[in-house]
Structures are given as structure tokens and as C-alpha cells.
Amino acid sequence: MFDLEKERHRTYLEHGYLRHHLTKKELKDFNNWKNDVKRLYAFASFGDAYKIPEILKWILDRRAVEEAIEQWENWTDEQRKTKWRKLMFSALWSCPDRAAAVLETTTRGFMAPGYAISDVIHFLSKWQSQRPVDEFKAHAEILCDVVVTVFNRFPPGYVAPRQNTIWQLTNGVDLLRTVSLYKCLKEKNVLFHSNTLRNIAKRLAASPQHKHDALQMAIEAIPEQGTDLDSGAWSALCTSILSLRPGQINTDDGFSAADAFVILLEHGFAPNMVHYTAVIRSLCLTDQNEIAEEVFQTMQRHNIEPDIVLWSTLLDGGKRALSPSNIESVVKGALGGNDIDVPFLNDLLVSLLHFCKAEPSKNTQSSPGYVAAFGPMLHFYSKIFHMAPLQALIPVDLSMYLDGQQRLDIPAKWQLAQQLFPALDMAMSAVQDKLDPTDATLSIMFLAYVRSLTQPINLISLYAYFRQEISKGSPIATKLVREKGTFAYDVLIKALCAFPGMLRAALDIVGDMLKSTLEERSKAVDAMKQSLEGSEVTPPPLHPAPSVFTWSILLHGFSREKGSGERILAQMRQYGVEPNLVTWNTLIAGYARNQDVNKTVLSLQRLEASGHEADDFTLRAFSRLVNRELALKKMENALTKRAAQADRKEAEDKRMASIISGSVERRRPSPL
């Protein structure tokens, strides 16, 4: 756990510096402390195999340490100065789990030696890494908080932690604590090595709320003599800072990928295709399509040829912006580079569906969720993909369906989608031979077909057909389920839940999924193989178990029925599926829609208790409440009550500890 040779070298360097700044008595104390620490490291490294020398017989046990802590406030300054080393070292040796608390208590108004504080923190940061996961996380949070508290008690430069200590302190704690520790150490003039800053920045860059801090650390980490920001580790960090994912979009975070890109360029960053793609994706996700276009043009001016990933990124940006002209421009560019592939064609089909869904206010169709996209999508699909795989999933004759369309058209109220047809025609005409659709292609078309159905009886018939295909072992249907999980089931359940009186039908689908899970199927296969002495057996395909998305969709459907949401949540947990953020948001939205203030507040508290953080969807769900002031007041009261309960528990714990110690033991004189 400890590199003893490295520790000896560090002690040598420290002694060389401090011998010019300490008195003879202080230097002797330094040497004694360092010798003890070396023995502590040996004990921690070798455990029971380490023979404790006679010179350390003075070490206090756990009970004596606890007693000394209780008496600390009553000691004079001289007593504290004399006894601190013995108490602190005994805590590290006998009860390292209590040493952080000892450090925090004994530095209140007392100037312990800076080198000793550094050693204590270093030892505990290494010791905790050897604990079981739960213990490690709990102790890491405590230690990080204690370090911030302790450092704020001393003047800048008083404690000089090792770089490895800083990394160990930040490793395993949440990002808020990491940022808090970093800012505290900066205020205390602690110097950071370039590698330390870069490693911390790498963690922060994964969070959209901390990308600004990550960028600041990355710039600070650049050595004065400069560095190659295009090398492996630096390049990966820059990519992470510039990258956003769809679920990370929050315009209130104050982070701009474009600004970060410019700052990195000013510091010598020479972006490649991956970096340009990352920043363009981030700009598209935050609706900054004009800036994304400028970045793209800059890339072209530097003679960097776009690849299919970048074309797909720009296509996604055009889809999000509902810009047919942008999509047409992207298709022309991709055709010029011969970069059309199946995923790109899938994205085009999704764009057509998205454009149709984006005009619900113009849709006078009475059926909920209706989207008139399947006909045109099937038209383009049939030009480039084999029809048989899709036909295996849909009960109607698709050839006759196509023949029934007199022209490629959709209702006048879906005008925006029609503007995509020229781009789709260009892309499809570039495909010479029919392609095999991927599972993603089939999923897109299946979704479009479900959204085109206007009567619940058609949805029920579709599921009956799909279930029959699964039962027969249809290669296409079973492969789709194997690769895409519950997607087809989720789409059907969501569509059924949108129709009044169809919740029972949606439950029936979930019931089929619960009857047999993939795990049970595996057990059945093993049993049959053993009984048939090695002869190959093909077990009947089974439905997948409901996923967290399946349960969340069902929860949304039942949220309009009073009391049903909690029953669905209970069933979900009964079958071993834990709620995610989507589940909690769905529950909150349901209660808020029904104006149930108490349950809305309770669900918000349960969301936080489960380890999730509220997002934009949570706030949007909460905003459905009319009486939001009452809800906020209830939340404030709950927080006050929780804090009071925590205080009472802490007081009770101290009282019990005092009882356990025993009145006789407490009356003994201090072992120090």
C-alpha cells in the first residue's frame, strides 16, 4: 500500500528544507514523527506480520483515544502541544476510521505541525482505498470534508499535501466535493502538478455542470513551456470537454462548447476530425446550428475532410432544427464523399418521422399519437432495403400497401415533412443494390407503423401477430427482441396507454413479458440439454422481461388513476427493477397533474433519496402543480425535520458512546 523507499526520499527532502526553518527542538520532533510514520507505513503494509517494536508501546488503544478526544477541549495550549502527536498517531494506528474526526477536533484553534497534518491526510487517503466499496465511499466523503475544513483554519502555504494525496482525495467522492476541495487548495496556494490537474479535469469533463471547471483546470495544467495538446491524454481530455450527450443539455450551466473550443485553440490546440465532430455535436444539441456551420466551414478551410460520423452529426443537427435545407446540404456533402451507409439512411428515415411528429398542432387526426409518416417512409425504405424482413414484423401486405398509395404524399397539414423528399430521393438514388436492414432500421419502421394506427383494435391485432411470430421462433422477430430488448413491446404499450380504456390491454402485454424471462429460458435450455444427453435442442423463444422503460411507460399510463401509480411502482420493484430518473419524473408528473401536493413532494424526496438529481424534466413535471408555494413550503418543512432528526440521532449516538465507555472509565485520568 505504501512505497517505503519513496517515503524515505520525501522525508530526506523535507528535512533538507525544514532544518533551515525549525529550532533544534522542533527538528527533533520532526524526526521523531517521521520515524513513527515510517513504522506506521510498515505496519499498514505488512499487517499482523509486522512486529511492533518496544519503542511504540506508548500507543493508545481505541478507547483511550476516544477518552482523550472528550478531554481535548479542557486541555491547555501547552498540553495540546505536548500531547497532540501521541493522540494523532495513536488514532492512525489503533483506529484509522476515527482519525479524520480526531484531526478535525484537534485542529480547532490549535496549530498542529503542517508536515504532520500532511502525513495524516496522506495516510488516510491511502488507507481508505483498501476498504470495501461502501466503507471507502463513506470515509472518502468524510475525509474530503475534513480536509477542506482543516485547510481553511490555517494560513496559505501552511500545509503542503502530496500530489498523490490530492488525487486520492478526489477519487471516489462526488464532483461537488472535488470542486470544493480544488478551490480550497487553490486559495491556500497549494501547487498542482500538471498530471494531477489533468486527471481531475478528466473526471469533471464528463459532467455538463462541471465542464467549465474542467476547462479551467485543463488550461491551468498546461506547463509554462507549453505542451502538445494533440497527444493522446490531452487530446482525450479536450474531446471530453467539448462533448455533450442529448441527456446532458442544460443551457443554464453557463458552458459554451464554442467558447471552450476558441480558448483551447488559443492555447495551441490543433483539432482533428474527432474534436470537430465533438464540438459540432455539442453545438447542434444546444440549438446553435449557425455556429456549428461556421465551425464546419473552418474545418473545411483547414483541409480536413468530413467523415460519415460528422455527416451524421450534421444531419442530426438539421433534424433538431427542423431545417430541410440543412439536411439537403448534408446529403449532398455525404454523396460527394461517397459516405452514405445504412446508419446514415436510418437517420434520414428518423428525420422524416421527426418532422411529422414536430407538427402536432396542425394534426386534426383524433387518434392520440397519430403520425402520418409510415407511407412515405415505406416508399423510401422499399427503394433501398429488402422488404421481407420488415414484412415479417407487420401483418399487412406491404406490397399492396405501397400499391395503394397513388402518389408519394402525406396530408396537407404535414407540409414540413414533404420538404425532406428531395434530400431523401438524392440519398436513395445513390444506392444501387438493395441492402439488408439492420435491427435499428426495422425498429424505426416498426415505430412509424405503430404511430400510423388510428384504432386500438389495430394495435391489439399487431401485438397478437408479433407474439405469434415470437412463439413460432421467427428469425427476424426473435433477433429484433434479442438485439433491441423490449423496444417493440414498449412502443405498443405506450400506444395502447394513450387510448381510453386500453390500460388492461397494455397490462396483458406486460403479463406476457412477466410469464417467462430470458433467465428462465436459459435454465430450461440447460435442463433440456442435460436430459437429452448432448442432443441439440432449440427452446421456444420467450418474451423479454419488462425493463425499467417498460415499467415507466406503464406508470405513465396509470398515473391518471388514483393510487395506481404506487401499485405499479411496487410491482416494478417486486420483479427486481429499480426506478430510474425517468420513472421518478413520470411519478412526479402524474401526482402534479392530479394536483396531489403531498405525494408530489414525497416523490421528489424519494427521487433525491435514491441518488438521482432533479433535471429539467423534473422541474417541468413539478410545474404542473397549481399550488407550488404550498409544495415548496412542505419541502422546506421536510428538510428542517430531517435536519432535526439527524441532530437528535447524533446526540443519541454520543450519549450511547458515553454510556458504553462507563462512568468509571471516564473518571480515570487521561492516559496522555
Give the pLDDT confidence score for residue 65 in this predicted structure.
92
> What's residue 12's pLDDT?
63
Q: Strand pairing partners for 435?
A: 385
Amino acid 328: pLDDT: 95
Give CA–CA dist 492/484, Å, rounded. 14
Cell numbers at 71, concatenated: 478531554
pLDDT of residue 651: 59
C-alpha dist (Å) from residue 82 to 65, 334, 667: 15, 76, 22
pLDDT in tens, 227-281: 777 778 888 999 999 998 776 565 556 688 889 999 998 888 888 899 999 999 9
CA–CA dist 443, 488 (Å, integer): 7
Nearest C-alpha neighbor of 581 from the set 624, 625, 611, 546 = 611
User: Is residue 532 predicted with pLDDT exceeding 90?
Assistant: no
pLDDT in tens, 335-371: 988 778 999 999 999 999 999 888 755 554 557 778 8
Range list of H helices, 72-151 = 77-94, 96-106, 114-128, 133-151
Mean pLDDT of 441-453: 96
Give the whole-angstrom CA distance, residue 185 versus residue 204: 17
Burial 201-221 (b: 16+ CB within 10 A, else e): bbbbbebbbbbbbbbbbbeeb
Residues 182, 156 contacting (CB under 8 angstroms): no
Residue 276, C-beta contacts closer than 8 angstroms, at least 6 positions apart: 295, 296, 299, 304, 310
Q: What is the pLDDT of residue 408?
A: 62
* Cα 350 to Cα 344: distance, rounded to the nearest angstrom: 10
Please state the rounded mean pLDDT for residues 315-338. 92
Q: Are 312 and 347 in contact (CB under 8 A)?
A: yes
Predicted confidence (pLDDT) at residue 536 exceeds the cutoff of 80: no
Q: Which of 186, 179, 184 is nearest to 200 (CA)?
A: 179
Report the chain's C-alpha Rg in angstroms. Answer: 32
Q: Which three cell numbers stand for residue 342?
A: 445504412
Where do the DSSP E strands lie in 518-635?
A: none
Structural contact between residues 28 and 65, judged by C-beta atoms closer than 8 angstroms: no
Here the cell at position 424 is 431523401
**At how many degrees (to 10) do helices 175-187 and 211-221 cross?**
40
How far is residue 488's CA from residue 480's CA, in Å, rounded to a whole number? 8
Q: Cell 472509565, residue?
A: 665
3-state secondary structure of 40: helix
DSSP 8-state class, residue 529: H
Task: Indicate the DSSP class of residue 499.
Answer: S
pLDDT at 250: 59
Q: Which residues lie closer than 8 Å to 256 by C-beta, 6 or more apart? A: none
What are the pLDDT digits (tens) for 273-297?
Answer: 999 999 999 999 888 889 999 999 9
Which DSSP symbol is given to 217?
Answer: H
Question: The C-alpha cell of 76 is what?
Answer: 491547555
Say if CB 294 and CB 326 are below 8 A apart.
Answer: no
Could you write out the three-class secondary structure of 632-645? HHHHHHHHHHHHHH
Classify burial at 579, counting beta carbons within 10 Å of its beta carbon; exposed 0-12, middle 13-18, buried 19 or more.
buried
d(CA 60, CA 104): 19
From 254, 323, 253, 252, select the one nearest 284 (Cα to Cα): 323
Residues 6+ apart with CB under 8 A from 483: 439
Q: What is the DSSP string of 484-496?
A: HTTHHHHHHHHHH
User: Grid coordinates in use for 80?
Assistant: 495540546
Alpha helices in 222-373 (DSSP H): 232-242, 257-266, 273-285, 289-301, 308-320, 324-336, 342-357
Secondary structure string (H, E, C) spanning 144-207: HHHHHHHHCCCCCCCCCCCHHHHHHHHCCCCHHHHHHHHHHHHHCCCCCCHHHHHHHHHHHHCC
Backbone phi, psi, residue 130, to 5°: -95, -5
Distance, in Å, from the CA atom of 575 to the CA atom of 659, rounded to the nearest integer, reads: 44
Give the tens place of pLDDT for each residue, 396-430.
999 998 887 655 656 666 678 889 999 999 999 99
Mean pLDDT of 30-53: 81
Say if CB 280 and CB 318 are below 8 A apart.
no
Whose cell is 405513465? That residue is 556
The chain-wide mean pLDDT, for the chain, equals: 85
Residues 6+ apart with CB under 8 A from 425: none
Strand partners, 385: 435
Question: Per the structure block, which three cell numbers stand in for 668?
Answer: 480515570
Q: What is the pLDDT of residue 640?
A: 65
540 band by pLDDT with thresholds 50, 70 and 90: low
Percentage of the chain lying above the pLDDT 70 cut:
84
Give the three cell numbers for residue 113.
505541525
Angle formed by the axes of helices 342-357 and 421-429, to 10°? 160
Residue 638: predicted pLDDT:
60
Higher-confidence residue: 364 or 85? 85
Contact 421, 408 (CB under 8 A): yes
Q: Are 158 and 166 in contact (CB under 8 A)?
A: no
CB hemisphere CA count around 593 (13 angstroms): 16
Q: Residue 435: helix, strand or coil by DSSP?
A: strand
Residue 466 in this model has a pLDDT that exceeds 90: yes
| Set of cell numbers at residue 319 | 433534424
Average pLDDT score over residue span 68-75: 90
Q: What is the pLDDT of residue 533?
A: 53
Of 10-24, 72-86, 166-180, 507-521, the poorest mean pLDDT is in 10-24
Q: Is 279 within 8 Å of 242 (Cβ atoms)?
A: yes
